[in-house]
Amino acid sequence: MDKVLESAGMKKSFGRSLLYTLPMFLITFMFMTGGKPNFSDPASALAMMTAFLLVNVLYFFMHYTGKTDRYRAVLFIIFALSLSYTLIHNMLEVRKSMSFSQADILECKIPFCHLVIPMMILPAAFTKSIIFPGSIIGGFANISSMVLLWLVATVVLGRGFCSWGCFYGGWDDGFSRIRKKPVIKKISELWRWMPFAVLIMVALTSALALMPTYCSWICPFKAVTEFEQVTSVESATKAGIFLSLFGGLVIALPVMTRKRTQCSFLCPMGAVNTLSNKITPFTLKIDKQACTECLKCVEVCPLYALTPEDVKAGKVSLFCSRCGKCVDACSKRAIHYGIRGIPAGTMKNFSRNLFLFVSFLFMAIFSAGSIISTFQGLFKFIF
């Protein structure tokens, strides 16, 4: 396999890998330090340097080993954990609790996340008002910056956002890696259409009820972020739903199937991101000349984005999140990162390098704040 990677130009020498890492090194340094590292607070300086080194070491190894997914996943999972830690930490500081009251909603004290976007559109169009007030809590994004960030990311990365940008995806990605072999081997690919049904349902119900119904009733990530105070049968039912969905779709099923079941079967934003794959310049391509139809790529794909029929037809479906797991698994280098308009089997190395630079830079910059503040908390606790 190493020889295949070397001949394809994906596995590079130590020196060349360093050279490829240099632009990432400089940009992330400028971004994380603002050009002026501040060493007056040792814990903050150490946290910043650790995050900076982590990001660049992972990127270096992507080039040095020619593998993508395992290094991407490390940062993606750390991002998800650190976001939850930072969010909970900030909420405990601001309101001394992970739960919020109706007054907190009215005072716009609820952090806004990208999963709300599909529920805002219809109410915003009809009522000219935003149904989910967001605010900056300890540096969390407000509505306009979050929408803008998500728009840019999805236009450039398409559903790549679901493996390189989303601060929730690391949860089921992480749990899907716990077992070496799946206990449940087959779930019908038809379930991957479920997020579209959820999307239609929450967009319509949010417009009718003028409230974000997904956040209020279904979002599994309430279990690791913030939730409504349990003061009635209704709020207790909601808490039960959040915990059950988190336990079932984010923990149990990913462990048993080795697939990202929350992202594959529930998230309405995943459906929106799937559609955005139609416009992104980056794709995955299958070189039919090189493919032996061994179907290893189908087996490893965590998002049910590949079927045997797709492989036979030499195309990757719109559900692909560009995680790179199939690329790493293919011993023939037949499935590879590509650019729209460039034929399969050509410019594999250039396409991979360009995609990795753009997507990894996005993830590094987007995750830096929460990772640094998590390390800061950790170092303050230790020292």
Out of 51, 286, 363, 368, point to the residue binding ligand SF4 (CB under 6 A).
286
Cα–Cα dist 383/381, whole Å = 6
Nearer to ligand SF4, 24 or 263 (CB): 263
Kindly tell me which of 288 and 380 has the beta carbon lying closer to ligand SF4.
288
Q: Which of 223, 305, 356, 372 binds ligand SF4 (CB under 6 A)?
A: 305
Residues 141-200 that bind ligand SF4 (CB under 6 A): 162, 166, 168-169
Q: Is 323 in the site for ligand SF4 (CB under 6 A)?
A: yes
- From 101-109, 132-140, 290-298, 343-351, give the range in contact with ligand SF4 by CB under 6 A: 290-298
Of 251 and 311, nearer to ligand SF4 (C-beta) is 311
Residues in the chain: 383
80 binds ligand SF4 (CB under 6 A): no
**Cα separation of 138 and 151, whole Å?**
23
- The tokens describing 127, both together, are 């009522």
Nearest approach, Cβ of 38 to ligand SF4 (angstroms)?
33
Other residues' Cβ atoms within 10 Å of the Cβ of residue 22: 11
Binds ligand SF4 (CB under 6 A): choice among 147, 335, 361, 364: 335
Residue 320 as a binder of ligand SF4 (CB under 6 A): the answer is yes
Per CB under 6 A, 249 contacts ligand SF4: no
The DSSP line for 126-160 is HHSS-SS----STT---HHHHHHHHHHHHHHHGGG
Identified binder of ligand SF4 from the candidate list 111, 270, 338, 369, rule CB under 6 A: 270
Distance in Å, CB of 236 to ligand SF4, minimum: 25
Choose one: 25-33, 205-213, 245-253, 299-307; the region binding ligand SF4 (CB under 6 A).
Answer: 299-307
C-alpha distances (whole Å) from 357 to each of 28, 33, 342, 353 are 12, 20, 18, 6
Q: Does the footprint of ligand SF4 cover residue 10 (CB under 6 A)?
A: no
47, 297, 344, 361: residue in contact with ligand SF4 (rule CB under 6 A): 297
Residue 254: exposure state from Cβ atoms within 10 A (0-12, 13-18, ≥19): buried
The helix-helix angle for 268-276 and 194-209 (nearest 10°) equals 110
Coil/strand/helix, residue 338: strand
Interface with ligand SF4 includes 324 (CB under 6 A)?
yes
Query: What is the Cα–Cα distance from 67 to 352, expressed in whole angstroms?
Result: 11
Provide the angle, in degrees to the nearest 10, between the axes of the packed helices 42-65 and 14-33. 150
CA 122 to chain centre: 25
Alpha carbon 189 to its chain centroid, in Å, reads 21
Minimum distance of ligand SF4 from residue 30's CB (angstroms): 28
Taking contact as CB under 6 A, which single stretch among the options 94-102, 208-216, 286-294, 360-368 is the one that binds ligand SF4? 286-294
For position 309 contacting ligand SF4 by CB under 6 A, the verdict is: no
Among the candidate windows 98-106, 131-139, 175-183, 261-269, which touches ligand SF4 by CB under 6 A? Answer: 261-269
DSSP 214-241: IIIII-GGGGGS-EE---SHHHHHHHHH
60 or 168: CB nearest ligand SF4: 168
Task: Give 24 or 73: the residue with its C-beta nearer to ligand SF4.
Answer: 73
Q: Note whether 88 and 98 are within 8 A (CB).
A: yes
Nearer to ligand SF4 by Cβ, of 7 and 292: the residue is 292
Output 195 or 369, the one with its CB closest to ligand SF4.
Answer: 195
List the end-to-end C-alpha distance of the chain, in Å, as a whole number: 44
Indicate the residue among 59 and 171 with the shorter CB distance to ligand SF4.
171
- Looking at the chain, the number of H-run helices and the number of E-run strands are 19, 4
Q: Binding residues for ligand SF4, per CB under 6 A?
A: 162, 166, 168-169, 263, 267, 269-270, 273, 284, 286, 291-297, 300-301, 303, 305-306, 311, 316, 320-326, 329-330, 332, 334-335
